[in-house]
Amino acid sequence: MRSVFFVTNLLFLSSIAFCSNGKLISQKEYIVEWKAEAIRQMQAYKIPASITMAQAILESSSGNSTLAREGKNHFGIKCHNWNGKSMSLDDDKPNECFRVYSKVEESYEDHSKFLRDHKRYASLFQLEITDYVSWSKGLKSAGYATNPKYAELLIQLIEKQNLAILDGSSIPVSINHALSEKKSINAGKHQVFHHQNKVNYIVAKKGDTYVRIAKEFNLGLWQLYRYNDFSPRKEVLDEGDIVFVQPKRKRSKLREITVSKEMSLRQISQENAIYLSRLKKLNTTFSEDSMIPKGTKVFLR
C-alpha cells in the first residue's frame, strides 16, 4: 500500500514524532499513547495489537508524517472506494489520493475494516493471534506494502519494542466505552491489562516507583516484589516495564515456546506471567539471567 520511499524514511524518522506543541517524541511515547486503541481493535476485529501498532509506527513514522499529522491517517490508506475528505501526496505515483479522518481513532478503525473486508487478507484471520511473524509475512505477501523488507521491518519493530505483550492483553468494557467517547481514562492512574495467562498487570509510566504502584493497588511492597521477578539489582522501574499486580502462575496453557530473540529466563518469566522459580525447575540447563539463544525451546509446563 505504501511506497518504498515512505517506509524507508523510517530509517531517519521512525524514532520521532511531532506532538501538537512541536516537541519530538519517541516510538515508546507513541506506543504509550495508542496501545490501548490497538488492543481495542484486536478485541473487535481479531487483528494482533502488535501488528496494528507496528504498522502504525512504520506507516506514519510514529505519527510524524504529513499524512498522519494533517490527515489523521496513520496507516497510509488510499482513497479507493472513499467518499470522505482526502489529501494528495506523492507515493507510488505523484499526487496520489489518501483518506483524511477527523480523529486518529477513525484511522485505526478503518485499518481494521480494510484488512477484514478485503479477500486478499482473508487467510491472515486463520492464523493464531499471537503469531506476529506469520501475520507480518502474510501482509507483505498480500501486497500491503511495496517495500520488499516490509515483513522484516514489522518483526524487528515488534521484537525491539516488545509489542507482542499487547497480544495477551484486554481492556475492560468500561475503558472501551471511555475510549469511544474520547475521554481521559488514565487520570494519573494505570490501566489494568489482563495477561492471557490470567494475571493482571500494568505498564510502568515515567517516574513510577514500587511504592507508588503498591499504594495504588493496596499492596504491600513485599507482594509487589514477590509478584514480579525483577533482578535484585533493579532498584527503579523503567518506563514500559510490565508490572504484575497479582501472583503469576506456576504454568502456562502452552507446553513450550521457541524464543524469537535472545533473552533470559527472567525476561521470559515476565512475558509469560510464570514464576521464575518454576521456569528454572522446568529448564535446568539455564540460569535465571543467562541469555538463551534465539530459536531455543523453553518449557512453560
* Confidence label for 230 from pLDDT (cuts 50, 70 and 90): confident
pLDDT at position 25, please?
A: 62
Cell of 3: 511506497
What is d(CA 89, CA 30) in angstroms, rounded to the nearest whole number?
23
Q: What is the mean pLDDT of residues 235-249?
A: 87
186-244 maps to CATH 3.40.630.10:
no
Q: What is the mean pLDDT of residues 129-151?
A: 89
Contacts of 256 (CB under 8 A, 6+ apart): 297, 298, 299, 300
pLDDT tens for each residue of 23-53 = 666 788 889 899 989 999 998 999 999 999 9
pLDDT beyond 90 at 176: no
Query: Angle at Cα 52 formed by Cα 49 and Cα 53, nearest 5°?
Result: 85
pLDDT at position 282, please?
A: 94
* Confidence label for 109 from pLDDT (cuts 50, 70 and 90): very high
Contacts of 296 (CB under 8 A, 6+ apart): 258, 259
Contacts of 270 (CB under 8 A, 6+ apart): 228, 229, 230, 242, 244
Look up the CATH number of domain 4-168.
1.10.530.10
pLDDT beyond 50 at 102: yes
Q: What is the mean pLDDT of residues 116-121?
A: 94
Cell of 194: 489482563
pLDDT tens for each residue of 286-297 = 998 999 998 899
pLDDT at position 9, please?
A: 41
Q: Parse the chain into domains and list their residue ranges.
A: 4-168, 186-244, 256-299
pLDDT beyond 60 at 121: yes
Percentage of the residues of the chain whose pLDDT score is greater than 70: 85
* Confidence label for 20 from pLDDT (cuts 50, 70 and 90): very low
Residue pointed to by grid coordinates 507510488: 92
Residue 105 or residue 146, greater confidence: 105
Provide the whole-model pTM: 0.53
Residue 64 or residue 173, greater confidence: 64
The 3-state DSSP class for residue 97 equals strand
pLDDT at position 147, please?
A: 82
Choose the weakest-confidence range: 7-11, 131-135, 218-222. 7-11
pLDDT beyond 70 at 240: yes
| SS3 readout for 101-123 | CCCHHHHHHHHHHHHHHCHHHHH
